[in-house]
């Protein structure tokens, strides 16, 4: 496929994301009518604007952030099974979130306490991983991977400990949060998230050629005009910011960050100039669509988006590993 | 005319000397073979020259300027390095990998038409054009090696450092590989190839650098290598110079 042909895929992915934002909010347990929404009639207008649209946009942004971070970490760690959660950032965020849920704190500085707890936990994880894997100020993919996996184990144990001592009604919230789900969100928070995600995406995309080189190897990149140390640091920080914000707002939704980059690699291109933007847009579409499906398959009960993704992603992962071996 | 100079190049890990006070100078147009037994420090020497490892002491001068002070993109325009191996399960296509050789040559987002032409020419020369759309992971070892060689040719750097470029190649492609490097040197590049094939080296290179336990024990022209073969005992006592009825020489063992 030529570069121009692949460029078309980027445009198509962007169109798919816009289409998802336009059409998915109409899907849900209670029917809403187009004419009533346009005429600002209640409750249709309220349901559309405050519940469905913000939730769909959140799904698009979370899916986009996680897929982009997944694609990035697969290059950074040179491991095709790497996910946004491999480096322990999300388990740090989860631990922070669960501490705040069990403590019963409702809000901090006007923000939901869970967000603040998750972001603080993610920051702690980032500092620990960077500190523990640096040797003489140098990062290496291998040490990052090992430290991240170890930290994941430690945080999981801490989460289990806190969870098992939590009161029953809070324990349900913890379980729900750990599955990962999308909910309606205020537009002010959504805007901040959109700005952060777009900024990270722009920084990462501007170095798309460098991720290609790093995917081959650090020495390969170093002799082709790149400083691999700077690139590793930049990627680690940007990927962590993407992961931390997505997890803070939606919980640790699994598999989207693994599956989407692999589908794009297999079907469109492995070149990060194409892979990154396509993963960004299509990851958003996949998660928002999974969430819309979760709203209706067992209506009036809702399946969390995290559960739908896991149902799709688990078998996909098995298939992937079988094909690899 | 560009030159590469190694001044007392030393590299140690803890107290073990891997490369020890290596000195030599080479200029564009030359094709040097770096030979030595396993663990003699050949790959480390190449890594030092490529800037992948920082020497413990000594320095490298490129056209008289300290190589250590070059930026990564300046380095890439001067020096191309072919590693001994890259991971085999890369998801990229052949063409995508060869294109990476052009990355250092500009800041543009996409490769230009000139880049595309250079990439195609490099793939043709290294005989991997026919399978340019295949994924790297699906290739045989020899096919992968030709792809990496094409990526190096596409980079069009002035100094080529190749770590065992003929690995995995069948005999015909081994000869092709060394002929390609010979042609690069003829067109003004300075080529270094680490190799274990002494016949290939003596048939195509101008000069032989023999490393033993990190030290440069011989730096000689190919003519000198034939006339004073004492360096061969480094490898095996069984090596000897043979002659065909037509008078061609080769190294045999018996």
Nearest residue in B to A266, CA atom: B91
Using the Cβ of A225 and the Cβ atoms of chain B, whether some distance falls under 8 Å is answered with yes
Is there a domain that residue A107 lies in? yes
Is there a domain that residue A65 lies in? yes
Helix (H, G, I), strand (E, B) or coil at B33: strand
**Interchain contact, A270 vs B109, CB within 8 Å:** no
User: From CA B19, how far away is CA B34, in angstroms rounded?
Assistant: 13
Is there a domain that residue A253 lies in? yes
Mutation pick from B47, B48, B72, B93 vs chain A, by most beta carbons of A within 10 Å, is: B72
Using the Cβ of A219 and the Cβ atoms of chain B, whether some distance falls under 8 Å is answered with yes
In terms of DSSP H, where are the helices of chain A?
Answer: 3-23, 34-38, 44-46, 54-76, 89-103, 113-133, 141-165, 168-179, 187-206, 208-216, 218-222, 228-250, 256-267, 272-296, 305-324
ipTM field = 0.93
**Interchain contact, A227 vs B93, CB within 8 Å:** no
Q: What is the pLDDT of residues B18-27, one digit of tens each?
A: 999 999 999 9
Question: What pLDDT does residue A321 have?
Answer: 66
Q: Measured over all CA atoms, what is the biggest interatomic distance in chain A, rounded to whole angstroms?
A: 64
Which of B79, B89, B91 lies at the smallest CB-CB distance from A223? B79
In terms of DSSP H, where are the helices of chain B?
Answer: 42-50, 72-78, 94-99, 113-125, 141-155, 171-186, 198-204, 222-227
Q: What's the CATH number where A241 sits?
A: 1.10.3470.10
Below-50 pLDDT ranges, chain A: none
Rounded to the nearest angstrom, the minimum Cα separation between B229 and chain A is: 36
**Interchain contact, B72 vs A222, CB within 8 Å:** yes
Q: Which residues of A276-309 are buried (b: 16+ CB within 10 A; e: fewer)?
A: bbbbbbbbbbbbbbbbbebbeeeeeebbbbbbbb
Helix (H, G, I), strand (E, B) or coil at B221: strand
Nearest residue in B to A324, CA atom: B89
Which of A78, A213, A223 lies at the smallest CB-CB distance from B52? A223
Question: What pLDDT does residue A2 have?
Answer: 64
Q: What is the pLDDT of residues B59-81, one digit of tens each?
A: 999 999 999 999 988 999 999 99
B91 to chain A: which residues are within 8 Å by CB? 80, 215, 265, 270
- DSSP for B73-115 reads HHHHHHEEEE-S---TT--SBHHHHHHGGGGGG---SS--HHH
Question: What pLDDT does residue A166 have?
Answer: 79
Q: What is the mean pLDDT of residues B167-177?
A: 94
B148 to chain A: which residues are within 8 Å by CB? none
**Interchain contact, B155 vs A213, CB within 8 Å:** no
Is there a domain that residue A184 lies in? yes
Using the Cβ of A295 and the Cβ atoms of chain B, whether some distance falls under 8 Å is answered with no
In terms of DSSP H, where are the helices of A105-181?
Answer: 113-133, 141-165, 168-179
Question: What pLDDT does residue A112 have?
Answer: 83
Helix (H, G, I), strand (E, B) or coil at B6: strand
Using the Cβ of A10 and the Cβ atoms of chain B, whether some distance falls under 8 Å is answered with no
Domains identified in chain A, total number = 1
Backbone φ, ψ for residue A223 (5° rounding) = -95, 10
Number of C-beta neighbours around residue A39 at 10 A? 10
Res. B33: pLDDT tops 70: yes
Question: What pLDDT does residue A39 have?
Answer: 85
Nearest residue in A to B111, CA atom: A3
Q: What domain range includes position A72? A: 10-324
Short-list A1, A47, A3, A2, CA closest to A25: A47
Question: What pLDDT does residue A107 have?
Answer: 76
Using the Cβ of A222 and the Cβ atoms of chain B, whether some distance falls under 8 Å is answered with yes
Using the Cβ of A279 and the Cβ atoms of chain B, whether some distance falls under 8 Å is answered with no
Question: What pLDDT does residue A44 have?
Answer: 87
Is there a domain that residue A1 lies in? no
Which of B75, B101, B110 lies at the smallest CB-CB distance from A3? B110
A272 to chain B: which residues are within 8 Å by CB? none
DSSP state at residue B12:
E
Is there a domain that residue A263 lies in? yes
Q: What is the pLDDT of residues B204-241, one digit of tens each?
A: 999 999 999 999 999 999 999 999 989 999 899 999 89
A212 to chain B: which residues are within 8 Å by CB? 92, 96, 100, 103
Which tokens sit at A134? 């640096």
Short-list A224, A6, A231, A219, CA closest to B103: A224
A3 to chain B: which residues are within 8 Å by CB? 110-111
**Interchain contact, B87 vs A223, CB within 8 Å:** no
- pLDDT over 70 for what percent of chain B? 100
Q: Are strands B239-243 and A107-108 parallel, antiparallel or unpaired?
A: unpaired
Q: What is the pLDDT of residues B40-63, one digit of tens each?
A: 999 999 999 999 999 999 999 999
Nearest residue in A to B133, CA atom: A1
B86 to chain A: which residues are within 8 Å by CB? 216-217, 220
**Interchain contact, A224 vs B87, CB within 8 Å:** no
Backbone φ, ψ for residue A138 (5° rounding) = -110, 135
Question: What pLDDT does residue B247 have?
Answer: 84
Q: What is the pLDDT of residues A249-274, one digit of tens each?
A: 999 998 899 999 988 988 899 999 99
**Interchain contact, B83 vs A209, CB within 8 Å:** no
Short-list B79, B133, B234, B177, CA closest to A223: B79
- Beta-ladder partners of B251: B241
Is there a domain that residue A203 lies in? yes
Q: Tokens 């347990």 map to which residue?
A: A29
Which tokens sit at A69? 């971070």
Is there a domain that residue A193 lies in? yes
């Amino acid at each position: 496929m030529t570069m121009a042909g692949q460029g078309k895929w980027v445009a198509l992915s962007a169109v798919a994301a816009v289409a998802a934002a336009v059409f998915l909010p109409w899907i849900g347990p209670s029917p809403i009518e187009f004419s009533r929404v346009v005429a600002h009639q209640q409750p249709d207008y309220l349901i559309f604007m405050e519940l469905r649209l913000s939730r769909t946009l959140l799904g698009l942004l979370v899916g986009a952030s996680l897929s982009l971070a997944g694609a990035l970490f697969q290059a950074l760690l040179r491991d095709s099974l790497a996910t946004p959660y491999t480096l322990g950032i999300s388990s740090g965020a989860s631990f922070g979130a669960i501490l705040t849920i069990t403590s019963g704190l409702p809000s901090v500085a006007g923000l939901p306490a869970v967000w603040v707890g998750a972001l603080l936990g993610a920051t702690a994880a980032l500092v620990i991983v960077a500190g523990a894997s640096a040797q003489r100020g140098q990062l290496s993919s291998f040490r990052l991977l090992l430290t991240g996996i170890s930290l994941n184990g430690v945080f999981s144990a801490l989460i289990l400990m806190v969870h098992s001592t939590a009161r029953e009604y809070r324990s349900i919230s913890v379980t729900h949060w750990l599955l990962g789900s999308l909910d309606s969100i205020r537009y002010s928070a959504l805007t901040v998230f959109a700005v952060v995600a777009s900024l990270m995406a722009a920084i990462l995309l501007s170095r798309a050629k460098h991720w290609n080189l790093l995917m081959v190897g650090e020495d390969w990149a170093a002799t082709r005009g790149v400083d691999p140390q700077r690139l590793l640091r930049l990627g680690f920080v940007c990927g962590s910011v993407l992961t931390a914000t997505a997890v803070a707002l939606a919980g640790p939704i699994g598999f989207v960050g693994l599956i989407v980059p692999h589908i794009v690699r297999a079907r469109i291109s492995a070149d990060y100039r194409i892979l990154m933007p396509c993963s960004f847009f299509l990851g958003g579409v996949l998660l928002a669509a999974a969430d819309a499906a979760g709203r209706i398959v067992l209506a009036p009960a809702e399946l969390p988006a995290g559960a739908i993704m896991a149902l799709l992603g688990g078998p996909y992962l098995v298939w992937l590993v079988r094909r690899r071996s | 005319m560009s030159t590469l100079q190694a001044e007392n190049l030393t590299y140690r890990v803890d107290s073990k000397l891997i490369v020890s006070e290596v000195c030599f100078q080479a200029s564009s147009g030359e094709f040097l073979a770096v030979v030595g037994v396993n663990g003699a420090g050949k790959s480390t020497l190449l890594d030092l020259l490529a800037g992948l490892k920082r020497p413990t002491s000594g320095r490298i001068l490129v056209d008289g300027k300290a190589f250590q002070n070059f930026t990564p993109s300046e380095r890439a325009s001067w020096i191309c390095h072919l590693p001994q191996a890259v991971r085999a399960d890369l998801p990229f296509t052949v063409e995508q990998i060869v294109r990476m050789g052009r990355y250092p040559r500009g800041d543009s987002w996409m490769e230009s038409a000139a880049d595309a032409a250079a990439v195609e020419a490099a793939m043709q020369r290294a005989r991997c054009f026919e399978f340019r759309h295949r994924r790297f992971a699906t290739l045989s070892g020899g096919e992968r090696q030709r792809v990496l060689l094409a990526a190096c040719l596409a980079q069009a750097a002035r100094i080529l450092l190749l770590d065992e470029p003929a690995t995995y190649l069948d005999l015909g492609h081994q000869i092709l590989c060394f002929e390609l490097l010979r042609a690069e040197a003829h067109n003004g590049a300075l080529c270094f190839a680490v190799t274990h094939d002494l016949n290939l080296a003596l048939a195509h290179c101008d000069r032989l650098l023999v490393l033993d336990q990190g030290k440069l024990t011989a730096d000689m022209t190919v003519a000198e290598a034939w006339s004073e073969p004492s360096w061969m005992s480094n490898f095996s006592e069984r090596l000897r110079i043979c002659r065909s009825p037509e008078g061609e020489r080769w190294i045999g063992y018996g």
